[in-house]
Amino acid sequence: METITLTYKRLPDRINYFKQHLLYEDDKVIVTSQRVKPSSPIVENGETVLGDNYTAVWFVFTGKWYDIGKIYNLDNEWTGYYCDIIKPVIRSADTFEIVDLFLDLWVSPNGSYEIQDEDEFETAVQNGVITTDLAKKARNALTDLIDEVTAGRFPPEFVNEFSLNKHLEF
């Protein structure tokens, strides 16, 4: 399976490189997968829905201010979506670069959602790590994403139809 390098930038100056399995690519979207190690797990109703070594299938859309991670637990059961608010992806031949804007959104299979890392975002804005203009764009992206969820138009059909079993081999 082909791999691709994700250059992950977290303002002001943190840069990480992640090797991911390339599952699909066209002009509109890059789909990759990886095992994740979140800084802290997400737990709903006493059940971990995002934890160490869970599988994320990432959908990074050209021109969009967010990505979507379709999350699977250790038994390959889908647990929900993790969405990062990001600057639109920069793509090259074998790498792609995203700039994380701190705000995240967890969307459960039942359509409920929870905003993640709002405190980190506010600190970044207060410390001038994120400009006022960029902060406004990040907030608008989060609001638009929440509107899609509450209107029942989330996730995009492409994400909904993408099959883990068809494309992923761990």
Question: What total number of domains does the chain contain?
Answer: 1
pTM of the model: 0.92
Q: Confidence class of residue 2 from pLDDT cuts 50, 70 and 90?
A: confident
170 found inside a domain: no
With respect to residue 70, please indicate whether it lies within any of the assigned structural domains.
yes
| CA terminus-to-terminus distance, the chain | 10
Q: Alpha-carbon dihedral of residues 99, 150, 143, 42, nearest 10 degrees? A: -50
**Statement: residue 165 has pLDDT above 80:** no
3-class SS at 77? coil
CATH of the domain at 32: 2.40.380.10
* pLDDT tens profile 30-88: 999 999 998 889 999 889 999 999 999 999 999 999 999 999 999 999 999 999 999 99
* Model confidence pLDDT, tens digit, residues 102-161: 999 999 999 999 999 999 999 999 999 999 999 999 999 999 999 999 999 999 999 988
